[in-house]
Structure 1
Amino acid sequence: MYPRPQLTRENWQDLCGEWEFAHDDKDAGVRAGWWRGDRPFEKVITVPFPPESAASGVHDPAPHPIVWYRRTFGAPEGDRLLLHFGAVDYRARVWVNGTEVASHVGGHSPFHVDITHALVPGEQVVVVRAEDAVRDLTQPRGKQFWEPSPAGIWYHRTTGIWQPVWLTSVPETYLAELEWTPSAVRKSVTVRANVDGPDVGLALRVRLSVGDRVLVDDQYTVDGELNRTITLPQGDFRWSPANPTLIDATVSLVRDGEEVDTVRSYFGLRDVGVRDGRFTLNGERMFLRLVLAQGYWPESHLAAPSEDALRREVELIKELGFNGVRVHQKVEDPRFLYWCDRLGLVVWGEMANAYEYSVDGVARFTAEWLEVVRRDVSHPSIVTWLPVNESWGVPALWDDPRQRHFLESLYHLTHAVDGTRPVISNDGWEHGTSDIWTVHDYSPAADDLTARYGTADAVDAAVGRDWPGPRRVHLDDAVRGDQPLMITEFGGLSYTPEAGERWAGYRTVGGAADLLAAYEGLVTALVGSEQVAGFCYTQLTDTEQETNGLLTEDRVPKVDPAEIRRVNTLPAASVPPERLNLLIEEAQRKSRGE
Structure 2
Amino acid sequence: MTSAMPKPEHPRPQLIREKWMNLNGTWGFEIDAGDSGVERGLTTRELTGEILVPFAPESTLSGIEHVDFMEAVWYRRTLSIPQEWAGNSVLLHFGAVDHDATVWVNGVEVARHRGGFTPFTADLGGVVEAGADAVIVVRARDSRHEMQARGKQATWYNNTHCQYTRTTGIWQTVWLEAVPEVYIKRLRMTPNLADSSITVEVPISRNRTGHTVSAVLTDCSGTRIEASARADLDLTPSLRLSIPVEALRPWSIEDPFLYDLEVSVRDGSGGIVDQVSSYAAVRSIALDRRVVRINGKPVFQRLVLDQGYWPESLMTSPDESALIKDIELSMAAGFNGARLHQKVFEERFLYHADRLGYLVWGEFGDWGVSGGGTIGHNQKPTASFVAQWLEVLKRDFNHPSIIGWCPLNETHQILHDRLTVLDDVTEAMFLATKLADPTRPVIDASGYAHRIRETDIYDSHSYEQDPDRFAIEQQGLADGKPYINRKADGEEYSVPYAGQPYFVSEFGGIWWNEAEARQAVEGTDVASSWGYGQRVSSEEEFYTRFDGLCSVLLDNPDMFGYCYTQLTDVFQEKNGIFTFERGTKFDLDRIRASQVRPAAIETRRDGS
Q: 2: CA distance between counterparts of 1:510 and 1:261?
A: 62
Per the alignment, residue 58 of structure 1 pairs with 64
Per the alignment, residue 591 of structure 1 pairs with none
Amino acid in the other structure paired with 1:295: G
Q: Deviations over 1:534-589 (max 9, x none)?
A: 1000000000110000000011121122221222212487642579xxxxxxxxxx
CA drift at 1:406: 2.8
Amino acid in the other structure paired with 1:24: D
Q: 2: CA distance between counterparts of 1:573 and 1:327?
A: 29
Q: 2: CA distance between counterparts of 1:49 and 1:483?
A: 41
Superposed, which structure 2 residues align to 1:84-233 within 5 Å? 84-119=93-128, 122-136=132-146, 138-197=147-206, 199-223=208-232, 224-233=235-244
Per the alignment, residue 505 of structure 1 pairs with 531
Contact 2:298–2:605 under 8 Å retained in 1: no
Contact 2:34–2:71 under 8 Å retained in 1: no
Per the alignment, residue 388 of structure 1 pairs with 408
Instruction: Compute the TM-score of the two structures, normalised by the length of structure 1.
Output: 0.92
Amino acid in the other structure paired with 1:375: R
Amino acid in the other structure paired with 2:65: H
Q: 1: CA distance between counterparts of 2:182 and 2:482?
A: 60
C-alpha spacing 1:473/1:187, structure 2 compared with 1 (3 Å): farther
Superposed, which structure 2 residues align to 1:14-25 within 5 Å? 14-25=22-33
Q: Deviations over 1:136-181 (max 9, x none)?
A: 2x30110101101111111111000000000111122111111101
Amino acid in the other structure paired with 1:488: S
Contact 2:486–2:493 under 8 Å retained in 1: no
Q: 2: CA distance between counterparts of 1:333 and 1:347?
A: 13
C-alpha spacing 1:222/1:577, structure 2 compared with 1 (3 Å): same
CA drift at 1:409: 2.6
Matched, 1:490 2:510: no
Equivalent of 1:250, from 262, 275, 279? 262
Equivalent of 1:452, from 461, 469, 473? 473
Q: 2: CA distance between counterparts of 1:279 and 1:574?
A: 15
Per the alignment, residue 587 of structure 1 pairs with none
Q: 1: CA distance between counterparts of 2:41 and 2:435?
A: 43
Contact 2:95–2:118 under 8 Å retained in 1: yes
C-alpha spacing 1:518/1:572, structure 2 compared with 1 (3 Å): farther
Per the alignment, residue 590 of structure 1 pairs with none
1:365 aligned counterpart, secondary structure: helix
Q: 2: CA distance between counterparts of 1:329 and 1:523?
A: 23
Q: Deviations over 1:91-125 (max 9, x none)?
A: 10001111111111111010111113211664321
Contact 2:258–2:280 under 8 Å retained in 1: yes
Superposed, which structure 2 residues align to 1:371-386 within 5 Å? 371-386=391-406
Contact 2:463–2:506 under 8 Å retained in 1: yes
Per the alignment, residue 5 of structure 1 pairs with 13
Amino acid in the other structure paired with 2:430: Y
C-alpha spacing 1:246/1:457, structure 2 compared with 1 (3 Å): closer
Deviates more, 1:526-535 or 1:238-247: 526-535
Contact 2:448–2:486 under 8 Å retained in 1: no
2:262 aligned counterpart, secondary structure: strand
Per the alignment, residue 365 of structure 1 pairs with 385
Contact 1:349–1:384 under 8 Å retained in 2: yes
Per the alignment, residue 483 of structure 2 pairs with 462
Aligned-residue identity in percent: 38
C-alpha spacing 1:141/1:573, structure 2 compared with 1 (3 Å): farther
C-alpha spacing 1:201/1:63, structure 2 compared with 1 (3 Å): same
CA drift at 1:381: 0.5
Amino acid in the other structure paired with 1:229: R
Matched, 1:569 2:590: no
Contact 1:163–1:333 under 8 Å retained in 2: yes
Per the alignment, residue 304 of structure 2 pairs with 291
1:19 aligned counterpart, secondary structure: strand
Amino acid in the other structure paired with 1:496: N
Per the alignment, residue 432 of structure 2 pairs with 413
Q: What root-mean-square deviation, in Å, do the aligned CA atoms of Structure 1 and Structure 2 show?
A: 2.1
1:217 aligned counterpart, secondary structure: strand
Amino acid in the other structure paired with 1:180: M
Q: Deviations over 1:322-355 (max 9, x none)?
A: 1110111110000000000010101101001163
Equivalent of 1:431, from 434, 446, 450? 450
Instruction: Compute the TM-score of the two structures, normalised by the length of structure 2.
Output: 0.90
Equivalent of 2:498, from 481, 489, 498? 481
Matched, 1:67 2:73: yes
Contact 1:529–1:574 under 8 Å retained in 2: no
Per the alignment, residue 560 of structure 1 pairs with 587
Q: What number of residue pairs does the alignment pair up?
A: 570
C-alpha spacing 1:461/1:247, structure 2 compared with 1 (3 Å): closer
Contact 2:309–2:315 under 8 Å retained in 1: yes
CA drift at 1:458: 6.7
Give structure 2 stretches of 5+ with no counterpart: 1-8, 374-378, 520-524
Amino acid in the other structure paired with 2:36: A
Contact 1:571–1:578 under 8 Å retained in 2: no
Per the alignment, residue 326 of structure 1 pairs with 339
Per the alignment, residue 441 of structure 2 pairs with 422
CA drift at 1:309: 0.7
Amino acid in the other structure paired with 1:294: Q
Q: 1: CA distance between counterparts of 2:135 and 2:425?
A: 42
1:309 aligned counterpart, secondary structure: helix
Equivalent of 2:330, from 312, 317, 333? 317
Q: 1: CA distance between counterparts of 2:220 and 2:20?
A: 25
Deviates more, 1:507-516 or 1:45-54: 507-516
Per the alignment, residue 337 of structure 1 pairs with 350
Q: 2: CA distance between counterparts of 1:538 and 1:468?
A: 21
Contact 1:175–1:194 under 8 Å retained in 2: yes
CA drift at 1:8: 0.9
C-alpha spacing 1:66/1:397, structure 2 compared with 1 (3 Å): farther
Q: 2: CA distance between counterparts of 1:548 and 1:470?
A: 28
Q: 2: CA distance between counterparts of 1:471 and 1:546?
A: 28
Matched, 1:515 2:542: yes
Amino acid in the other structure paired with 2:384: R
Q: Deviations over 1:220-242 (max 9, x none)?
A: 21133112332211133100111
